Structure 1
Amino acid sequence: MKQLIDFIPLILFFITYKLDPRSVELAGQAFEFGGIYSATAVLIASSVVVYGTLLITQRKLDKGQWLTLAACLLFGGMTLMFHSETFLKWKAPVVNWLFALAFIGSHFIGDKPLIERMLGHALELPKEVWTRLNLAWIGFFLFTGSANLFVAFTFHDIWVDFKVFGSLGLTLLFMVAQGIYLSRHLPQDAPADNKD
């Protein structure tokens, strides 16, 4: 459920971006609605509302949510301030690479890789499996950040589509691959005795 809530601002951004720009009057002021700049404003506003609501109801946000919100405010704000979508194009790569750095850093700081700190309460796995899984997450974030950067600056017409659906698709594929990998390392339940 939490992951779905995190996608609300991105979905609203995508819908607004795809609208044909039109003039909308609000409080006596005319605004253009539709296209990249109003979509960026919607992304910022909806992120503040979603994460603000989570902060009020849960009394906390996890570090990834704080990072996502900060990047949204920084890169979205710069996009609006300088009227250049270049800043927003850098948001996904930078966020992915910062997540990769956090996973890399966990190999040197603390006694457990970051993925074990996140999932260790639910899974019991050998140390080498946790290490491989953490390395896989590093590779995933580096690849996803690079793919977002490549598409954003090479294929201008589809970068928003890729940001929403390509990144989501890559994440789902990675999660399925991770599930298959983990299933090989989970302890098998002993079969129940058949007593007739």
Structure 2
Amino acid sequence: MDKTKPHPLFKLATELGPLLIFFFVNSKANLFAATGAFMVAVVIAMVASYMVTRHVPMMAIVTAVVVIVFGTLTLILHDETFIKMKPTIVYTLFAAALGGGLLFNRSFIAIMFDQMFNLTHHGWRILTMRWALWFLAMAVLNEIIWRTQSTDFWVAFKVFGMVPLTMLFAITQMPLIKRYHLDPASLETSEAEAGDVSKG
């Protein structure tokens, strides 16, 4: 199926919109109302993304599933713990997928980031390792924050802390990406380079 490249502002809105809604509703009501709004916003963002691009990134799908499952548990059991653990679960899943893939000489980072660029086999391996460690660190950080700080602080950090930190980390990877970047290749070659790092 053909994919339409979305406008950067549209992509930003679908990724950050649900988080901003989560923060706003929590500030006006409580975490449970914010959780419900967050779940609805995530689903709407996914539908909008598919309608515009005919495609939903794998990271968005995994995140949405975890949001819905843990959000539902939060509302049904009226327990904040589940939604607060959601980032930990998501980051741990990503870290496990990337790290586990490397054990079998496979790199799933291109799939997670929707094949945004082409790298050499060695480049994919290094980038995958770095992101796996980053996701693991973010999982640990989320556990520390929600277990030691107030709910309002955790919500604010989730929106205005985790997102900027992740964007900053992504920016710091640009030298690596430029170093191991390959010129555009055919679809078959691109997919092979993204998925098989055994030659690195």
- TM-score (norm: length of structure 2): 0.77
- Structure 1 unaligned segments of length 5 or more: list them: 20-33, 188-196
Q: Does 1:9 align with 2:4?
A: no
Change (3 A) 1:123 1:60: closer
Pairwise CA RMSD: 2.3
Is the contact made by 1:71 and 1:95 (CA closer than 8 Å) also made in structure 2? yes
Aligned to 1:62: 57
Higher relative contact order (Cα pairs below 8 Å, separated by 6+ residues): 2
Structure 2 distance, partners of 1:120, 1:65, is 14
Q: Does 1:41 align with 2:36?
A: yes
Aligned to 1:173: 168
Q: What secondary structure sits across from 1:152 in the alignment?
A: helix
Between Structure 1 and Structure 2, which shows a larger proportion of helix residues?
2
Q: What secondary structure sits across from 2:21 in the alignment?
A: helix
- Structure 2 unaligned segments of length 5 or more: list them: 1-7, 183-200
Structure with max Cα Rg: 1
AA in 2 matched with 1:178: Q
Between Structure 1 and Structure 2, which shows a larger proportion of strand residues?
1
- Residue in structure 1 matching 2:147, options 147, 153, 157: 153
Aligned to 1:86: 81
TM superposition shift of 1:113:
1.3
Q: What secondary structure sits across from 2:102 in the alignment?
A: coil
Change (3 A) 1:40 1:93: same
Is the contact made by 2:95 and 2:133 (CA closer than 8 Å) also made in structure 1? yes
Structure 1 distance, partners of 2:100, 2:110, is 13
Number of residue-to-residue matches in the alignment = 172
CA offsets, 1:5-29, max 9 Å, x none? 122111101011111xxxxxxxxxx
Aligned to 1:18: 27
